[in-house]
Structure 1
Amino acid sequence: MRTRRTLINMAYALGSSLLLLLLGLVTRRLLVYNFGTQISTASQVVSQLFNFFSIAEFGVGSVISYRLYEQIAARNEEKISKYMSMYKWAYRAVGLAIAVLALLGAAALPWIMPDVPLSTGYTVYALNVVSTLCSYFLVTRRLMYTCTQQGYLCTRIDFCFNVLTSLAKIAVSLWFPNYVLYFSVAIVCNVCANLVIARRFRKDFPYVREAKVSLRDFRELGIFHDLRYYLVHRLSNTIYGSSDTIVTARMGGSAMTTRLGNYTNISTSATDLGNKIMDSFAAAIGNIVYDKSAAANDHDKRVFWGMDLFSYLFASFVATAYFCLFQPFMEAWMGPDWLLPLSFVLVFCLNEYVGWNHRILGSYRAVLGHFEQDQWFMVASAAVNLILSFALFPAFDITGALAATVAAHCIMWAGRIRVVFRQYMRGSMGHYLRIQALHAVTLAACMGLTWAACRAVPLGGWLGLAPRAVIVCLLPNLLNLAFYGWSSDAAYLREYAARIVRKRRDRT
């Protein structure tokens, strides 16, 4: 059942995200060319500001979700209902807290965006307030779908409304060029999607009922203890994800911020696609951990090492693809005037590699709890990111700010290694570090050889992208197959794939 649901989640994720990626490219180009860099910058900066305000969520979703995995495995319907009611009331409190933070944070807009008119900045800001608060008051039912590996049901609904949103944005950009209307259609469609999911929730989970909860329930279940430590994680992750845009808007202006936004728009869409693939495994990992004892047995260790290899293969392919295709794609999509330096692309690829390479490790870390064990790593990550971003930007522009993000990301990774190999994969840290050193060497080979092959393509523009894409799809994967195809971890992945094929054949 886990394998089947993982495959269904992945299939729906791939299909929907690919189409949304294409629509997102169209809407981004229309936003930049039809509304200008000031509107684009205001949208990017305000979005990142609200990421900061989401610190008020305190990580309550993650804390309750890893407890919910345990109760779903035990089939304890009473506690499932209790946790879901706690989740709902916690998010209502979070929504009110974010409303207060939004009122206070409005004063920072003139300092962060000095070259954006105040009326434009505050209008976009107000629209984001509405959008964010609607999400916090309506989104809570999605947690059960995620924890029971039925996220594809939400993906179906989201896909329909996201396509509608993109088509409406395209229509507004072309025929009714009003940025208020442009951003408003997204709010309406998001609210409608959450209302449809809420209606379906009552049918799919009839045993989840409203339960009476109090502050005493939160204290007795240790939620406040976990939230106290998880707040550090939440703050650090928020600074990591949002600082580049805010620092660039303050120190580089709207033109550079828009250029950065063009690159991050592509990477965000691609990351959403990758997240859907990786999230398909996340719930299965939670069930594996809580179906068994706290420490991994031999089979669970095989699963971990196999999934870790998959994470590296995915990361090396993504980093190589960005390195070889980002600049020619950007030139064909937006034009040569919108390019950032190749040094930025290289650092960007390293950051993407770090993130995807330990994504499976991060999924294990998320379901294990014990957030106090790596809290100081997260504090160091946030401090390094902020200090280095402002220190390096004057000399290296956006490349320096992104280099600070890479350093912070590595510190975060080190903390996750500490928790997983202390709580679950005990005694295996040295093996993991040796594998990562080997991965770094093979990554350099994949990126270097694929870059050289792509440079040999004489064509430019859209025509040159097709042969380069073929090279990127084949060469790094063939190199990784040569490096790792003989390993026991690859053998596990082959066995896993064979089981999937057999199950598909048996059903047909």
Structure 2
Amino acid sequence: MRIKHSLLNIGAGLGNQLIITLLSFVSRTVFITYLGVEYLGLNGLFTSILAMLSLAEAGIGASIMYSLYKPVAEDDKNKMNALMRLYRNAYLIIAGVVLVLGLSLLPFLSFIVSDTSIDHVHIIYLIFLLNTVAPYLYMHKNSFLNVCQKGYIVTGIYSVSSILTTTLKIAILYYTQNFILYLLIESSITIITSIVLALVVNKMYPFLKDKPATDLDPETKKGIFKNVKAIVLQNIGAYLVLGTDNIIISSFIGLAAVGIYSNYKMLIDISRTFINQIFNNIYHSVGNLVANESKEKIYSIYKVYRLINFWIYSTFTIAIYIMLEPFITLWIGSDFIMDKSVLLLLMLLFYEKGIRNAITTVKTTSGIFHPDRYAPLIQAAINLTLSITFVQFWGIAGVFLGTLISSLVVPFWTTPYLVYKKVFKLNILKYYFVYGLYILIGVVAYFITRYSTSTILADSYFSLFLKGLLCIIIPSLIYTVIFCKSDEFKYIFSISKRVFYKFRTIKVSHTTNRL
């Protein structure tokens, strides 16, 4: 059942992401053409600032979601209801806190956004603030569907919403070039979508509208509040590591530089989002697994997850590193290309964070939040110190070099140590041996792929597509040869065969019924 739900969620997510990606490219092209790189920079800057304000939510959602896995697995409706009531009330408070914090920044906008020709900056900021606050009113409903492994419903509703929003925004930019109207459309549809999703959840799970028969037990409350404190510290640290790049670039280099970087970020984020459609849905299956299975079973599934994680992230890293600059040149021109060292650092960050995805999933779904609560703050202090120092010597590359060093100094060590000690109860050296082996295999795959595709000039979209296809196929063939005898590969292959035969059976049955 876990596999079935995961596959449904993954299929829905990938289909949705493909459509949204195509529309995003059209939208970004129209955005750059009619508004320019400065508006692009402002968009990225305000997104980063409001991500900082969203730290008011840090910890609450993740902790309550973790607490929901067991009652959902046991179909304990009263406890689910009590937790959801707590979840809803917490998010109402969060929405109010974010709104107040956001409004308190208004007097300081002129210091953050300097030397710009953009009009009505304060109005634009207020609309961004509305877009941030509104989803909190219904976010607990989304989370419940995800915990129940019904994320494909959320994906379906958001797919329709995203397609409608993006299409309308493209039309507004094309016909009016009005950035404020562009943002208002997004706000309106976001609010409507949240309301529709809440109504769907209420219809599917009517018991959530009832008053819980009993309050949460003291032990559950204590666990939630303990985890909240830990996750708050972790999320604050995570933001200071990953969310301050645009602010540092804007402050030390300029808003236009943020705009140019935002194209790289958009393409990398699209790739990460595609991958996350797979792993976010597996995440909730792992949560269900942790709540019900032995440590041996969890470890065996983790190894499968680890191989899939390496396979996908290393393949995407190779493909993006080879393809990103030719794509941007063909898409919007060579004026939007940054120094090669920036791309190298961005891809190292992409791979390093991505390759930890499997171990991080086991950590969070096992409820390990408290022991390393200060680690992200230590990482953040290292990151900010190094990034602000390095940006003055090496520009944008210096910002990302500081981020990479801070990642290697802290979470690279702490996350696997805690999981292997508390969940698997195994020697941590096993983790680093496999990690090192995967890096070696990935580097070899990169050089073979680079050499094999070097003769293809990406001077048209067809040749670019061909080169990109080879960048996916070649590493996959190499990994198939290397891993085909492993238990993890055999497990993945057996699941793939089951899915294929099931799909074929459904297709044949459907065809027979039609005849």
Q: Same fold (TM over 0.5)?
A: yes
Residues 286 and 219 (structure 1 numbering): CA distance in 2 closer, same or farther, change over 3 Å?
closer
Q: Distance in 2 between matches of 1:120 and 1:448?
A: 49
Residues 49 and 218 (structure 1 numbering): CA distance in 2 closer, same or farther, change over 3 Å?
farther
Query: Is 2:39–2:259's contact at 8 Å kept on the other side of the alignment?
Result: no
Corresponding residue SS for 2:46: helix
Aligned residues: 505
Matches within 5 A, 1:313-462: 313-410=311-408, 411-462=410-461
Q: Offset at 1:505?
A: 4.8
Matches within 5 A, 1:184-195: 184-195=184-195
1:226 is matched with 227
Q: Offset at 1:455?
A: 2.4
| Structure 1, 168-177 or 453-462: larger mean CA deviation | 453-462
Gaps of 5+ in 1: none
Residues 400 and 337 (structure 1 numbering): CA distance in 2 closer, same or farther, change over 3 Å?
same
Corresponding residue SS for 2:307: helix
Query: Is 2:48–2:247's contact at 8 Å kept on the other side of the alignment?
Result: yes
Q: Deviations over 1:136-163 (max 9, x none)?
A: 1122211111001100001111000100
Query: Given the alignment of the two structures, is residue 499 of structure 1 paired with residue 498 of structure 2, yes or no?
Result: yes
Query: Given the alignment of the two structures, is residue 254 of structure 1 paired with residue 252 of structure 2, yes or no?
Result: no
Q: Distance in 1 between matches of 2:228 and 2:219?
A: 10
Q: Offset at 1:89?
A: 0.3
2:512 is matched with none
2:244 is matched with 243
Q: Distance in 1 between matches of 2:123 and 2:272?
A: 28
2:62 is matched with 62
Q: Distance in 2 between matches of 1:309 and 1:29?
A: 36
Query: Is 2:79–2:216's contact at 8 Å kept on the other side of the alignment?
Result: no
Q: Offset at 1:216?
A: 9.6
Query: Given the alignment of the two structures, is residue 465 of structure 1 paired with residue 445 of structure 2, yes or no?
Result: no
Query: Is 2:233–2:376's contact at 8 Å kept on the other side of the alignment?
Result: yes
Query: Is 2:41–2:257's contact at 8 Å kept on the other side of the alignment?
Result: no
Corresponding residue SS for 2:371: helix
Q: Offset at 1:506?
A: 5.3
Query: What one-letter code is carried by the residue in structure 2 that aligns with 1:475?
Result: I
Q: Offset at 1:214?
A: 8.6
Corresponding residue SS for 1:371: coil
Query: Is 1:368–1:423's contact at 8 Å kept on the other side of the alignment?
Result: no
| Structure 1, 164-173 or 29-38: larger mean CA deviation | 29-38
Query: Is 1:56–1:98's contact at 8 Å kept on the other side of the alignment?
Result: yes
Query: Given the alignment of the two structures, is residue 269 of structure 1 paired with residue 270 of structure 2, yes or no?
Result: yes
Query: Given the alignment of the two structures, is residue 488 of structure 1 paired with residue 487 of structure 2, yes or no?
Result: yes
- Over the matched positions of the two proteins, sequence identity in percent amounts to 21
Residues 18 and 179 (structure 1 numbering): CA distance in 2 closer, same or farther, change over 3 Å?
same
Q: Distance in 1 between matches of 2:29 and 2:6?
A: 34
Corresponding residue SS for 1:375: coil
Q: Deviations over 1:9-58 (max 9, x none)?
A: 01111111011001111111221221122222111111111111111113
Q: Offset at 1:86?
A: 0.4
Residues 316 and 220 (structure 1 numbering): CA distance in 2 closer, same or farther, change over 3 Å?
closer
Corresponding residue SS for 1:424: helix
Matches within 5 A, 1:14-53: 14-53=14-53
Query: What one-letter code is carried by the residue in structure 2 that aligns with 1:253?
Result: G
Q: Distance in 1 between matches of 2:217 and 2:441?
A: 53
Q: Distance in 2 between matches of 1:90 and 1:160?
A: 28
Q: Offset at 1:459?
A: 4.5
Q: Deviations over 1:139-192 (max 9, x none)?
A: 221111100110000111100010001100110111111000011111111111
Query: Is 2:46–2:125's contact at 8 Å kept on the other side of the alignment?
Result: yes
Q: Deviations over 1:275-309 (max 9, x none)?
A: 1111110111000000135xx12x33221111101
Q: Distance in 2 between matches of 1:449 and 1:113?
A: 45
2:300 is matched with 302
Query: Is 1:131–1:187's contact at 8 Å kept on the other side of the alignment?
Result: yes
2:163 is matched with 163
Q: TM-score under structure 1 normalisation?
A: 0.95
- The Cα RMSD (Å) is 2.0
| Structure 1, 240-249 or 457-466: larger mean CA deviation | 457-466
Q: Distance in 1 between matches of 2:234 and 2:457?
A: 47
| Structure 1, 328-337 or 498-507: larger mean CA deviation | 498-507
Residues 312 and 497 (structure 1 numbering): CA distance in 2 closer, same or farther, change over 3 Å?
same
Q: TM-score under structure 2 normalisation?
A: 0.94
Query: Is 1:28–1:265's contact at 8 Å kept on the other side of the alignment?
Result: no
Q: Deviations over 1:103-130 (max 9, x none)?
A: 2223443333222257443222111111
Corresponding residue SS for 2:127: helix
Q: Distance in 2 between matches of 1:211 and 1:449?
A: 61
Q: Distance in 2 between matches of 1:486 and 1:497?
A: 16
Residues 216 and 109 (structure 1 numbering): CA distance in 2 closer, same or farther, change over 3 Å?
farther
Query: Given the alignment of the two structures, is residue 138 of structure 1 paired with residue 153 of structure 2, yes or no?
Result: no
Q: Offset at 1:256?
A: 1.0
2:6 is matched with 6
Q: Distance in 2 between matches of 1:490 and 1:215?
A: 43
Q: Distance in 1 between matches of 2:302 and 2:234?
A: 23
Q: Offset at 1:407?
A: 2.4
Query: Is 2:138–2:195's contact at 8 Å kept on the other side of the alignment?
Result: yes
Q: Offset at 1:66?
A: 0.6
Q: Deviations over 1:443-485 (max 9, x none)?
A: 2112222223332213514243022112202111112222222
